[in-house]
Amino acid sequence: MEISGSEALWRALLNEGVEMVFGYPGGAIMPVYDALYDFADDIKHVLVRHEQGAVHAAQGYARVQGRAGVCMATSGPGATNLVTGIADAMLDSVPLVCITGQVSADLLGTDAFQETDVIGITIPITKWNYQVTTAAEIPEIIAKAFYIAQRGRPGPVVVDITKNAQLEMLDFEPVSIQGIKNFDPNPSLNIEYVEQAVEAIKESDRPMILCGHGVLISQCESEVIDLAERADIPIACTLHGLSAIPSGHSKYVGMLGMHGNYGPNLLTNESDLLIAIGMRFDDRVTGKLDKYGIKAKVIHIDIDAAEIDKNVAATIPINADAKTALQAMLSLVEKAERPEWFARFAECAEKEFSTVIDAETNPTEGGIRMAEVISRVSELTGGEAILVADVGQHQMMSARYYKFKYSNSWITSGGLGTMGFALPASLGAKAGAPERKVVTVIGDGCFQMTIQELGTIAQQNLAVKIIILNNNYLGMVRQWQELFFEKRYSFVELENPDFVKISEGFGVEAERVSTRDGLMTSLKRMLDSDGPYVLEIVCEKEENVFPMVPSGASVSDIRLE
């Protein structure tokens, strides 16, 4: 059957099971949008307001669906607007297929209207990219793009399609791929290392599991819990590992990293065995590397060989899918009990509670505090919501104080720390998980980076519950200026617009609350509303996130105040 390249693109996407695409049209992708006109019943296209919104929405969608998100943009400025999100997905291992239009093949390299070297620009921030210049390539390249984006360690793929390829005719046959030459997404498990790992766990007095994003990707949450329960091992999560383990689980001891919990950070340097699962020892987790895990052997389980020994040398390297590795370990691991070791974590938790958490979450005077908002949201939603957070103090407070009940319920920009991520990501998350409550927590600074996506949310009537924690500051930067730059507040204060009016202007219901007395009712009203809702919460202006591992310090130099 002879069809156009554009039609072939949609058929190839359908063949991959794609149900939703986030995009924005323009000259070099018009044939694709024209073909979409006939596929509107089969694929839902969400028209965003800026291409950055499309890519972050696709990320949010990918995270809740556990498969590749798809976004689409025209050449030139459309494609370059995707760049931040692609880089974000690369660092956070989010599977994406980004399709960009390109000028006709005969114009390539001539500085044609809206021509940019998208392949060149995205090489360092993609897992793979490819420029299609003939229609005949489309079915195979799309199949390959999905295979690569989703298999092994997931990541973003860019397919740049020249306009002539969109218009040319081809004989279409659906392609499905069982494997790609030279790309092995599933490295085989070395059983010797598994045995060594089991032995190391047996010999260890103070082991600790570091649970990363890979646990969610590999869907081995229950294996991690089994291991922790059987061998009595505390589990700490990285920022992206959050929600993999229910916050209330008896083996869960909290979050790692710069603003993580006191115990997991401090005790990293008392542990004699770190069992790292699907995490990459990011500098926000390790602090000063040569003072990290100073007494510990390291078991490092990661599907990406390049992560092993990259930052922290592995005593026992296990380059494999985490689920496969853990299942093999579980068949060998022996029961153990380590009450004294757990008591150390309990002591630390107690200390953190009395010096930080209690005052933060249950204040009686002063302005509303971010931590109390998150705690109340956590209580009101029963920990059952998908929580999306932007970047800054409000993000760290969300990570610290929401008590997750279900896995895969936490979406934020970790590796790149992209301000403006949350609003579009939350609309993607809601679109991908309509049955779940989606609450997004955004700072006043972040909100203004992608505020236009309120338009998308309104047009699609996506019931995202948007909380703006407004401190009239770029709070996280202000905190650093206060602590490390002698309180020289350099360009961090914001004179903000009326967020309620703006939201209403977009057609989104909105209200503002600034007193503790009104907080609960406002939160309830927001959560009980049917559609999208913006709740601006005026917060204490100068609060700081603690505990904190100052940048460049050792994890055990974590400060409680």
Partner 1 sequence: MERLYTISAYTENHPGVLHRLTATLTRRKINIESLTVSETEHRGISRFTIVVRTTPSLISKIVKQIDRIIEVVHAFVSEDNDLIFREIGLIRVAADDKNKRPEIEELAHRHGAVVTYATDSSLIVEKTGEEDDINSLFLLLEPYGIREFIRSGRIALRKSSETRELGSPSGKGEDIGAATVDFQQR
Ligand X SMILES: Cc1ncc(C[n+]2csc(CCOP(=O)(O)OP(=O)(O)O)c2C)c(N)n1
Residues identified as active-site:
51, 113-114, 163, 476
Interface with ligand X includes 16 (CB under 6 A)?
no
Strand spans (E) along 340-399? 386-389
Nearer to Mg ion, 420 or 445 (CB): 445
CB 91, min distance to ligand X, A: 12
Choices 101-109, 129-137, 208-216, 417-425 (CB under 6 A): range interacting with ligand X: 417-425
Residues 170-209, one symbol each (x = binds partner 1 by CB under 8 A, - = not), give: -------xxxxxxxxxxxx---------------------
- Helix, strand and coil in the chain, % to nearest 5: 45, 20, 40
Q: Quick check: helix, strand or coil at residue 529? A: coil
Judged by the rule CB under 5 A, the positions of this chain that interact with Mg ion are: 443-445, 471, 473, 475
> If DSSP codes are grouped into helix, strand and coil, which group holds residue 556?
helix
Total residues interacting with ligand X, rule: CB under 6 A: 19
Instruction: Select the span of 143-151, 394-402, 474-482, 502-510 touching partner 1 (CB under 8 A).
Output: 143-151
Residues ≥6 apart with Cβ < 8 Å to 147? 177, 179, 180
Burial of 542 (0-12, 13-18, 19+ CB in 10 A): middle
Q: Which amino acid is at 280?
A: R
Size of the site for partner 1 (CB under 8 A): 30
Please report whether residue 322 would count as binding ligand X according to CB under 6 A.
no
**Using CB distances below 5 to 8 A depending on partner kind, what does residue 182 bind out of ligand X, partner 1, Mg ion, none?**
partner 1
Among 477, 500, 519, 538, binds ligand X (CB under 6 A): 477
Using CB under 6 A as the binding rule, whether residue 476 contacts ligand X is answered as: yes
Least Å from the CB of residue 257 to partner 1: 22
Tell me how far, at minimum, the Cβ of 128 lies from partner 1, in Å: 4
DSSP class of residue 289?
Answer: G
394 binds ligand X (CB under 6 A): yes
Per residue in 80-96, is it b (16+ CB within 10 Å) or e — as a string?
bbbbbbbbbbbbbbbbb
**Among positions 24, 473, 499, 506, the unique one binding ligand X when judged by CB under 6 A:** 473
Give the Å distances, CA to CA, from 268 to 12, 241, 262, 295, 456.
Answer: 48, 17, 10, 9, 44
**Bridge-based pairing state of the strands 235-237 and 207-211:** parallel
Candidate segments 18-26, 50-58, 126-134, 336-344, binder of partner 1 by CB under 8 A: 126-134
For position 419 contacting ligand X by CB under 6 A, the verdict is yes
Q: Which does 476 bind (CB under 5 to 8 A by kind): Mg ion, partner 1, ligand X, none?
A: ligand X
Burial 346-382 (b: 16+ CB within 10 A, else e): eebbebbeeebbeebbebeeebbbbbbbbbbbbebbe
Task: Give the shortest CB-531-to-ligand X separation in angstroms.
Answer: 24
The two three-digit tokens of residue 485, written as one number: 């730059």
Q: Can you name the residues that pair with 316 across neighbouring β-strands?
A: 299
Compute the least distance from the CB of residue 75 to partner 1, in Å.
Answer: 17
| Stretch binding partner 1 (CB under 8 A), from 127-135, 264-272, 326-334, 482-490 | 127-135
Which partner from the list ligand X, partner 1, Mg ion, none does 309 bind, CB cut-off 5 to 8 Å by kind?
partner 1
Least spacing, CB of residue 220 vs partner 1, in Å: 16
Overall residue count recorded for the chain in this entry: 561
Of the pair 32, 446, the CB lying nearest Mg ion is at 446
* Residue 475 lies near ligand X (rule: CB under 6 A): yes
CB of 452 to ligand X, least distance (A): 15
Is 283 an interacting residue with respect to partner 1 (CB under 8 A)?
A: no
> Does the footprint of ligand X cover residue 373 (CB under 6 A)?
no
3-state SS, one letter per residue, for 453-522: HHHHHHHHCCCEEEEEEECCECHHHHHHHHHHCCCCCCCCECCCCCHHHHHHHCCCEEEEECCHHHHHHH
Q: Is 398 in the site for ligand X (CB under 6 A)?
A: no
DSSP conformation class of 317: E
Asked if residue 433 binds ligand X (CB under 6 A), the reply is no
Name the binder of 140 from ligand X, Mg ion, partner 1, none, CB < 5-8 A by kind: partner 1
If residue 215 lies in a helix (H) or strand (E), which one and from where to where?
A: helix 213-217
User: Looking at 4, 6, 52, 393, which residue binds ligand X (CB under 6 A)?
Assistant: 393
456/40 Cα distance (integer angstroms): 18
- The yes or no reply on residue 120 touching partner 1 (CB under 8 A) is yes
| CB closer to partner 1 out of 34 and 117 | 117
Q: Provide the edge-to-edge strand list for the sheet that holds 438-443.
A: 410-412, 386-389, 438-443, 464-470, 533-538, 509-513
Examine residue 81 and tell whether it contacts ligand X (CB under 6 A): no
Min. distance of Cβ 480 from Mg ion in angstroms?
13
Q: What is the DSSP string of 371-382?
A: HHHHHHHHHHHT
Considering only residues 292 through 331, tell me which ones interact with partner 1, judged by CB under 8 A: 304-306, 308-310
Q: Which of 76, 263, 264, 445 binds ligand X (CB under 6 A)?
A: 445
Minimum gap (Å) between residue 121 Cβ and ligand X: 18
Give, in degrees to the nearest 5, the angle at Cα 509 between 506 and 515: 125
Q: What 3-state DSSP class applies to 394?
A: helix
Interface with partner 1 by CB under 8 A: which residues? 119-120, 123-124, 127-130, 140, 144, 148, 151, 177-188, 304-306, 308-310
Interface with ligand X by CB under 6 A: which residues? 390-394, 417-419, 443-446, 469, 471, 473-477
